[in-house]
Amino acid sequence: MLDIRRIRQEPEVVAQLLAKKHVHVDLDIVKRLDAKKREITLEIERLKARRNQASEEVSQRKKRGEDASDLIAETRRVGEQIKELEASVAPIDQELQDFLLTVPNTPLPQVPDGESADDNVEIHKFGHVPHFSFRAKAHWDIGENLGIIDFERARKISGSRFNVLAGMGARLSRALINFMLDHARNRGYMEMATPYLVNEASMFGTGQFPKFVEDVFHVVPHDYYLIPTAEVPLTNLFRDEIIQDALPLKFTAYTASFRAEAGAAGRDTRGLIRQHQFDKVELVRFEEPNNSQAALEEMLRDAETVLEDLNLPYRTVMLCGGDMGFGQALTYDIEVWMPSYGKYVEISSVSNMTDFQARRANIRYRPKGAKKTELVHTLNGSALAVGRTIAAILENYQLPNGHVQVPDVLVPYLGGDEQI
């Protein structure tokens, strides 16, 4: 959520930044509701001051033995006025807050201009794109031929966009999860195990609601929501709290993730790239505002080095304004090379959310030596999406005989097995 004071003081600047995301927000609605709320609030404060003054005068008259019935009647009338005004300002404030929840975060100044993924700016590349001396296969064919991925039985059990991993497929998934968690822990992240079901307040806190309500799975009648990413429970650990520990705080968690993918029909319908349920290791950081951008660069390396350890070719791009998400102020996408696509495919997004989530979730800290609290900055990123990593390994490490070489770093996690 954006700071209402910022919209009040520099609406043109906010509008220009939102336009960089190719989003038009009628900020006049905010200004109108804010002005009306402030007008009524000032009148309430004036009436409360008059009531306090009248109550003091009543006390003084009684001490002097004088009649105070007129002032007592006035305090009652003022009290009724206050109640009426407070009742009238409540729906205005609710309308204002509801509207602010629909306003995206503003991009940071260094975010490049652009309308779509075609305008993202490449930062660097790692590794060499493989050139095969045989006809390379897509990961869905490799997995089915090896008997380690079963899409048909998953479709029978659940429907489309699900998979069953069998034998070495399941073991590879578990090996990657353990490797990714160990990698994050070695880089200073505390491992957490969090719920997969969260309440509505948690979804609002991280910005999934109200914009992406159609993209999540709602569990009724219990009114829980399946998490789309571990970012949601990890960030909400400190909702409505003042963080007492010294910043930064760095957390990692493996969870299953669930996305309805509303509006995504026809996109990546084959394979492991776009699933309703998938595994992911997530990174979340809580930072002081003046350090969040440096922390983002560090978090980017935390994710990139997972791919480097796996020796998978990738590239990193900075997203342009038009390709950025709702709550992101600056985002890097890490894209792994997928031979079946003939291009790099997103495997991680690493984002600085600045104080956008913290304001929604009311997450604060007290700077050293300060009396007042301030909002933290939150950051998140995948390190990595497990299914997409499996797909990348199967395609980039495939052998002429249909087997798949295991990346060296995963051999110990697979009990010494060097091939699938």
Residues 198 and 333 placed together within one structural domain of the fold:
yes
Please report, in range form, the residues annotated as the binding site for ATP.
259-261, 346-349
Closest CA to 284 of 331, 235, 240: 235
H-only helix segments in 311-385 = 356-361
Q: Is the pLDDT of residue 264 over 70?
A: no
The phi-psi region of residue 117 (left if phi > 0; otherwise alpha if psi is between -120 and 50; otherwise beta) is alpha
Q: What is the pLDDT of residue 395?
A: 98
Contacts of 83 (CB under 8 A, 6+ apart): none
Confidence check: pLDDT of 187 > 90 = yes
Residue 153's pLDDT is 97
Tell me: do 46 and 147 sit in the same domain. Answer: no
In this structure, the answer to whether residues 150 and 62 fall within a common structural domain is no
Q: What Å distances lie between residue 230 and 28, 203, 354, CA to CA?
A: 36, 11, 18
The pLDDT value given to residue 135: 95
The model's pTM is 0.92
Task: Examine the pLDDT at 268 and tell me if it is beyond 80.
Answer: no
Question: Mean pLDDT lowest for which of 72-76, 122-126, 269-273, 295-299?
Answer: 269-273
Res. 138 pLDDT band, cuts 50 70 90: very high
Confidence band, pLDDT 50/70/90 cuts, at residue 300: very high
Instruction: Give the residue among 388, 390, 302 at the shortest CA–CA distance from 350.
Output: 302
Q: Is 21 helix (H, G, I), strand (E, B) or coil?
A: coil
Mean predicted confidence (pLDDT) in 259-287: 85
Residue with tokens 């999540």: 216
Long-range pairs for 258-262 at CB < 8 Å and ≥24 separation?
258/196, 258/216, 258/217, 258/226, 258/227, 258/228, 259/215, 259/216, 259/228, 260/214, 260/215, 260/216, 260/217, 261/161, 261/215, 262/214, 262/215
Q: Residue positions in the annotated binding site for L-serine?
A: 229-231, 259, 282, 380, 382
Q: Is residue 42 part of a domain?
A: yes
Residue 262 has pLDDT above 70, yes or no: no
Do 292 and 181 fall into the same domain?
yes
DSSP state letter for 326 = S
Whether residues 78 and 122 share a domain: the answer is: no
Single-letter amino acid code for the residue at 214: E
Please say if the pLDDT value at position 170 is more than 70: yes
Residue 266 has pLDDT above 60, yes or no: no
Q: Is residue 291 part of a domain?
A: yes
Overall number of domains in the chain: 2
Alpha helices for 101-164 (secondary structure H) = 139-146, 151-157
Check: CB of residue 46 under 8 Å from CB of residue 53: no
Co-location of 219 and 173 in the same domain: yes
Q: Which of 42, 68, 100 is the last residue of a domain?
A: 100
What six digits make up the tokens of 239?
Answer: 């909702």
199 and 161 in one domain?
yes
Edge to edge, what strands does the sheet with 330-338 contain? 121-126, 314-318, 330-338, 343-352, 377-385, 277-287, 249-258, 190-192
Query: What are the beta bridge partners of residue 156?
Result: none
Query: Same domain for 190 and 160?
Result: yes
Single-letter amino acid code for the residue at 332: Y
Same domain, 67 and 183: no
Same domain, 71 and 157: no
Query: Which tokens hold the place of 340?
Result: 């079946």
Q: Which residues are catalytic?
A: 259, 274, 346, 349, 388
Nearest-10 Cα torsion for 204, 364, 187, 292:
90
Digit-coded pLDDT (tens) for 62-119: 999 999 999 999 999 999 999 999 999 999 999 999 999 999 999 999 999 999 999 9
Return the closest-CA partner of residue 135 out of 406, 345, 340, 392: 340
Tell whether 110 is covered by a domain.
Answer: no
Pair 121, 39 in one domain:
no
CATH of the domain at 281: 3.30.930.10
- Is 329 inside any structural domain? yes
In the listed set 32, 67, 100, which residue is the last one of a domain according to the structure?
Answer: 100
> Are 14 and 6 contacting, i.e. CB atoms less than 8 angstroms apart?
yes
Residues 40 and 168 in one domain: no
Domain housing 344: 117-414
Binding residues: 229-231, 259-261, 282, 346-349, 380, 382
- The pLDDT of residue 219: 95
d(CA 275, CA 268): 9
Judge whether 106 lies within some domain.
no
Using alpha carbons only, give the angle 5, 104, 321 rounded to the nearest 5 degrees: 115
Residue 17 sits in a domain whose CATH number is: 1.10.287.40
Contact assessment for residue 190 and residue 251, using Cβ atoms and an 8 Å cutoff: yes
CA–CA distance, 183 with 170 (Å, rounded to integer)? 20
**Would you say residue 327 has pLDDT above 80?**
yes
Domain boundary among 31, 66, 100: 100
Report if residue 107 sits inside a domain.
no
On the question of pLDDT at 204 being above 80, the answer is yes
Cα gap 308→302, rounded to integer Å: 10
| 261 band by pLDDT with thresholds 50, 70 and 90 | confident
What's the pLDDT at 267?
54
Residue 154 neighbours by CB under 8 Å, 6+ apart? 162, 163, 164
Measured N-to-C along each axis, helices 27-64 and 69-100 cross at an angle, to the nearest 10 degrees, of: 160
Is position 109 within any domain?
Answer: no
User: CA 370 to CA 288: how far, in whole Å?
Assistant: 13
Number of helices and strands (H, E) in the chain? 12, 16
- Alpha-carbon dihedral of residues 317, 320, 322, 324, nearest 10 degrees? 60
| pLDDT, average across residues 235-246 | 96
Average pLDDT of span 373-389? 98
- pLDDT, residue 83, reads 96
Statement: residue 174 has pLDDT above 60: yes
pLDDT tens digit string along 305-324?
999 999 999 999 999 999 99
> Within 13 A of 324's CA, how many CA atoms are on the CB side?
34
Residue 105 domain flag: no
Pairwise CA distance, residues 168 & 419, whole Å: 10
